Amino acid sequence: MVENRPWANFFAHLTLMLGVAVVVFPVYVALVASTQAPGDLLRGTLPMLPGAHGIENFTRMWQSGVSNAGAPPAGTMLWNSFIMAMAITVGKLSISLLSAFAIVYFRFRFRMFFFWLIFITLMLPVEVRIIPTFQVVADLNMLNSFAGLSIPLIASATATFLFRQFFMTIPEEMLEAARVDGAGPLKFFKDILMPLSITNIAALFVIMFIYGWNQYLWPLLITTDPDYYTIVMGIQRMTSEENPQWHLIMAAVVMAALPPVLVILFMQRLFVKGLTETEK
Amino acid sequence: MASITLEGLKKTYAGNVAAVKGVDLHIQDGEFVVLVGPSGCGKSTLLRMVAGLESITEGTLKIGERVVNQLEPAERDIAMVFQNYALYPHMTVYNNLAYGLKNRGFKKDDIDQRVRTAAKMLEIEDFLERKPRKLSGGQRQRVAMGRALVREPAAFLFDEPLSNLDAKLRVQMRVEIKQLQRRLKTTSLYVTHDQLEAMTLGDRLVVLNAGQIEQVGTPMEIYARPATMFVAEFIGSPAMNMLPLDYLAQQDTQGVLSQLPKETDTVGIRPDDMQLAPPAAPYITLNATLMLFEAAGAESHLYLNLAGSDQPTVVRTAGQPPVSEGETLQVYVTSDALHPFNSTTGKRTAH
């Protein structure tokens, strides 16, 4: 913008600040609440300034959890969530990269049929197919395991579709040049397609990781062993207790919010770099 | 280095669309052959069939003594320069050049030496560590050539490599490609729709139309003796004027047309061969009105309306004649300027 109108500037900034405040306030409350003593949050007025019990609350939540509410130590739950989210993310990315590669670059029979088959599953979220999926996972003895937590969530039509669209924008000459250069299909995939898709991979990584991290219903269904509880369902369990210990819950919430933030911060560099170095 | 032989090469797409309808051609070792034709004539398809990017429906393709119909592009020992260069955007120029060699299992030192030699030849040494997007069009073009060069293949295939460059650069690269090919003596097949590019680059020209060869010959042969009306009108700029024989006969008072074979019904005359001053040899005089005058510096183009004919006619003449638009003038044609054709067969009727 080359205009210089002080009032417009002022209002623009005011709007932005209000927006930020609306978004940031709940996070601030969670942070403040996680530093209070056990009774402080039950007095009716929410303290607005950090208390003195932060370290104590976090240590307690991290090391021992709230066992009477069925919440194991946050450390375990965070680790479980992380494994599950990573497995889902990496699994989704590799499967959808490969299937998009197949659909775009290979001429096999029923190609379009398979594409539409994948595409149709977009319309079936986990919740719709949760009963049959549970049955399958139970029959395969995958209840209470990381495999059971992640594998059923790996297949992804969304990512396949996005990669397909991206691959179709890569000029065909690129493939032809690679063929003349003696690159077979897998070499082409590894040396040309993957590096070109790196920004898409980064963006999808973030989305998929958060999707996996926030899974609630599925882990709740298939885990009965506290060793496999994830942080999101742990938090839910603590809140449904008779006397919820809000200071500990908030400590868990803050910890649960950190990994997605870190993933975004780390991946952002990759895809911002990708965006600024736009390739033709 | 090898010859390339095309025997009855055909390409038919699904739905019985014939793109290439039987092409026979022998390209000698070290020869520079240009495939030229209007868009959609099948020239690119033909090149891609030689490259192995397009399957061959019928016929035999030999590179050297080897029949390569079924071989992958990489196994045919050819290198190709694409119209949009198709450089790998995420690799440095060095790696773009080295990629094909790496895939073929060359040793590191060998790759390095070849890349540096090619880079030196094309004067792209300074950009070896840059990515293609930081290069200008001309530099990308050089890199694309370099990628072909490093492999020292049996043949170079060029698919309209200069059409994305601006006019000045195009002329410069044209000269460089020609010099490079002379120096390396690598068999080359070059596709273009630009007849000037074709004329200046090729040892031999192959004029294609609608999937078939119209004429094969050296550029001057084709220019001087176009075998069909299509070639006559396609090669040369401005295009050859085509006049009905009957019309010319009405103006022929000196017997200029008497030597023409009797199946002739159309006569082609190059814009350069129409003179504004009466020549010494017997001639036909044509009365015309000047519709438009184009001065192009060293030469001028005169767009004429011939009296008693609706055929637009162009005359090219050196310098700037003292004429003005709307004025009537006479143009003169001698017998050696005539290219006799039969419009039914489209073929030339005499040598």
Contacts of A280 in chain B (CB under 8 A): 89, 133
- The count of domains in chain A is 1
Same domain, B124 and B261: no
* A52 within some domain: no
CATH number where B64 lies:
3.40.50.300
In a domain, A31, yes or no: no
The CATH number covering residue A195 comes to 1.10.3720.10
Q: Give the pLDDT score at A273.
A: 65
Cβ contact B37:B207 at 8 Å: yes
Q: Which residue of B has its CA nearest to A186?
A: B103
The closest CB to that of A179, out of B72, B104, B147, belongs to B72
Domain membership of residue A36 (yes or no) is no
User: From the candidates A170, A174, A181, which should be mutated to test the interface with B, based on the most B CB atoms within 10 A?
Assistant: A181
CATH of the domain at B321: 2.40.50.140
Kindly state whether residues B268 and B220 are assigned to the same domain: no
Least CB–CB distance from A174: residue in B51, B86, B147: B86
Task: Pick the last residue of a domain from B200, B227, B254.
Answer: B227
Chain A: give the shortest CA distance to residue B108, in Å.
17
Low-confidence ranges of chain A (pLDDT < 50): 279-280
Q: Answer whether B86 sits within 8 Å of A196, measured CB to CB.
A: no
Domain, as residue range, for A170: 74-278
Q: CA of B150, closest CA in chain A: separation in Å?
A: 11
Could you give the angle at the alpha carbon of B273 between the alpha carbons of B272 and B279, nearest 5°?
130
Residue B202 identity (one-letter amino acid): G
Which of A171, A174, A179 has the CB atom closest to B53's CB atom? A179
Q: For residue B157, what are the β-bridge partners? A: B80, B189
Q: Which residues of A touch B90 (CB under 8 A)?
A: 192, 195-196, 198, 279
pLDDT digits (tens, 9 = 90+) for A174-203: 999 999 999 999 999 999 999 999 888 988
Residue B71 structure tokens: 């071989």
Which of B172, B197, B227 corresponds to the end of one domain? B227
B113 residue type, one letter: Q
Kindly determine whether residue B100 and residue A181, on different chains, have CB atoms separated by under 8 Å: yes
Task: Enumerate long-range contacts of A2-11, CB under 8 Å, 24 or more apart.
Answer: none
Residue B168 sits in the same domain as residue B287: no
**CA distance linking residue B308 with residue B244, whole number of Å:** 12
What is the per-residue pLDDT for B30?
Answer: 93
Same domain (yes/no): B197, B115: yes
Nearest CA in chain A to B51: A180
- Judged by CB atoms closer than 8 Å, whether chains meet at B86 and A279 is answered as no
Minimal Cβ distance to A181: which of B84, B103, B133:
B103
In a domain, B66, yes or no: yes
Q: What pLDDT is recorded for position A274? A: 57
Q: How far apart are CA B309 and CA B285, in angstroms?
A: 14
DSSP code of residue B301? E
Same domain, B52 and B165: yes
**Could you tell me if A273 lies within 8 Å of chain B, comparing CB atoms?**
no
pLDDT score of B132? 92
Which residues of B make CB contacts under 8 Å with A? 51-53, 72-74, 78-80, 82-84, 86-90, 99-100, 103-104, 133, 147
Residue B38 within a domain:
yes
Q: Which domain holds residue B313?
A: 239-346
Nearest residue in B to A277, CA atom: B133
Distance CA B117, CA B125 (A): 9
Determine whether the interchain pair A180/B89 forms a contact, defined as Cβ–Cβ distance below 8 Å. Answer: no
Query: Which of A105, A175, A176, A180 to probe by mutation at the B interface, max B CB count within 10 Å?
Result: A180
Nearest to A180 by CA among B172, B101, B210, B306: B101
Domain shared by B155 and B7, yes or no: yes
Which parts of chain B sit beneath pLDDT 50? none
A 193-232 near B (Cβ less than 8 A): 195-196, 198
Q: Identify all chain A residues contacting B134, using CB atoms and an 8 Å cutoff.
A: none
**DSSP-based three-state secondary structure for A39:** coil
In chain A, whose CA is at the least distance from the CA of B105?
A182
Residue A64: predicted pLDDT: 82
In a domain, B234, yes or no: no
Give pLDDT tens digits for B272-322. Answer: 999 999 998 899 999 999 999 999 889 999 999 998 888 889 999 998 888
- Render pLDDT for B118-163 as a digit per residue (tens, 0 to 9): 999 999 999 999 999 989 988 999 999 999 999 999 999 999 999 8
DSSP letter for each residue of A66-112: BGGGTB--HHHHHHHHHHHHHHHHHHHHHHHHHHHHHHHH---TTHH
Total-model pTM: 0.82
Integer-rounded Cα radius of gyration of chain A: 24
Residue A239 falls within a domain, yes or no?
yes
Number of domains in chain B: 2
Cis, bond preceding A244 (omega within 30 deg of 0): no
Q: Which residues pair with B338 in a beta bridge?
A: B269
Nearest beta carbon to residue A182 from set B80, B89, B104: B104
* Structural domain includes residue A161: yes
pLDDT at site B321: 87
Provide the pLDDT for residue A279.
Answer: 46
| Cβ–Cβ below 8 Å for B86 and A192 | no
Task: Give A-chain residues touching B74 at CB under 8 angstroms.
Answer: 179-183
Flag whether B54 is in a domain.
yes
Q: Are A247 and A38 in contact (CB under 8 A)?
A: yes
